[in-house]
Each structure stands twice: as C-alpha cells, then as structure tokens.
Chains A and B, each alone.
Chain A
C-alpha cells in the first residue's frame, strides 16, 4: 500500500471557490501543510485539480504529526561528552 504525500506549496487565495474547495477537502488549509492519502483514483483526481499548487511524492508509509515535526527539526549539533556528577534525586 503506497501513499501520496501532498504538500501545499502555493496558497489557494484568489482561486475559484471550486479549487479552494478541493484544497479544503484534501485538508490543505495552510501553505506547507503536508497530508497523506492512499493512492486511489479519487485522490489522484483531486490532485489533478490543484496540481499547480502542490508538490506530490509517493511514499510507503504515512508519517504522523510528530514524525513530520522531527523531520523539520535541525540537528542539535552537540552531545554531552563528559558530564559533571549530578545530584541524585
């Protein structure tokens, strides 16, 4: 089972109500919002209606909200090499 990973790159402001309705139906309410849908003809048709606004990738598994957040997070860039003794709680 594969999934579409759809990200809204450009906003739907100023477009016909029908186009904005497709974005709303896909759950794309803000720019850079990412949603996952299984690969079906229905979703493919919706994607075709708003193909100028989104970027689509096919992935194996949908990511959760937390995983998407982790993906955006930069690397901490440090770790504690030598720790001072801590007070034992």
Chain B
C-alpha cells in the first residue's frame, strides 16, 4: 500500500527525482522477475583458501578427498606455445580491437559472454562462496567485431584470461507438482525449489603473443 501511494504521488505531482524520499524508503523494485531473495550460502566443507592461493606448494597434492568436486588449478601445459602462422599474424589484430566476446565452456556447456555479463548457471556450483573469483580456462571461440578465433575443439588457454566473480545464488519459486494415479484418490504433491549460482564476467583479456611465448 505504501509503495503504491508513493508511486501515485510521483505520477501526479511530477516532482523531480531529487525530491524523492531517500532510497531506503523506496519500494524494492530492482529485482529480477521470477526470482526470490538472494540466499547467501554458508561456506562449505573444509575448503581452505590458502590451498588455492598456493597451488604450487607440495601440500596441494595431499588435499583431502572431500574437496574433489572443486576443480584444482591445472598444471601449466608442458609444450611451449606454438601457433599457426595465421594465428600469429591475426591475434594482434584481434587483441587490438576494443571489446571481445568468448564462448566459455563450464562442464562442457558453452556460455557466450562478454565482459560485465551476468550468467545464471543452470545449477548450484559446489564449493564456491560469493566473492570468489573463478578463472575460466576452456573456450571454444574468442572474437571481436571483425575477428573470431575458433578452437578445435578448444582454444589454447594461454591466449586469453577470463575471470568470473561469484555473485551468489538465486532460488526459483517453489514448484508444486501433483502426482495422481488413475482410479485412485490418493494425490501426492512434490515440491521442488532449486538454487542457481550467479556469475559475473569480471575480466576478459586477450594476451599478447610475446607474453605467451616469452
């Protein structure tokens, strides 16, 4: 009721936005359609930040089995970067253009994104908490307005740097499905309410050839 009166008063009197009440009195309308309030997960099992920060330490290999669902940083590829002449020729042109897109693959599914995009993953990512920065290292294509670099099937992960920040989780509205068998009065209701992880692409950069090979 309160929000409606405020909105009506705004429409009627055409007061400038500077005359609005302070933001904490305004109705909370800046929320996605079809979603409920953000649910911040408590940090999960014995995952320690120090182990991630120092992946090269020998202790990282003796990580407990409970964290096996969290991917560990891969070792750097042993082979030196060797690109075909056409890639060597055109990668600086791609890097010179202002904005890029990437088709990043998470668990084998492609997400066509650019910097600043928000992705709602179709699942809740285990072992991450809001604020974590993920490094996306599988991509099938990387491009700008005029150039596209395609992988076969994936690009060399040294070509680009793509980082995503975990924004939190989102929950869908509760779904209730009635299960009814024929010729039987019994009705079973099944409730489901899934959670989804939200990511924001915080950085997307194309590396220089000198940095990759040097």
Contact = CB atoms under 8 A, between A and B. Distances in A.
Interface of A: 74-87, 89
B132 A82 contact: yes
B136 A80 contact: no
B131 A80 contact: no
A83 to B, nearest CB: 4
Given A87-B43, A89-B46, A80 B108 contact: no
Contacts of A74: 105, 107-108
Given A86-B43, A86-B129, A87-B43, A77 B49 contact: no
B128 A80 contact: yes
Nearest to A83: B49
Contact of A78 (B42, B47, B137): B137
B94 interface: no
Contacts of A86: 43-44, 47-49, 129
Chief secondary structure at chain A's binding surface: loop
A78 B131 contact: no
A75 B108 CA distance: 6
Nearest to B106: A77
How many chain B residues sit at the interface, stated as a range, is 20 to 34
B76 interface: no
A29 B104 CA distance: 37
A1 B52 CA distance: 41
Given A78-B134, A78-B164, A83 B105 contact: no
Interface string B106-144: 111000000000000000000111111111111000000
A61 B119 CA distance: 42
Given A74-B105, A74-B108, A75-B138, A80 B46 contact: no
Interface stretch (B22-30, B67-75, B82-90): B67-75
B1 interface: no
B41 to A, nearest CB: 11
Nearest to B74: A79
B133 A79 contact: no
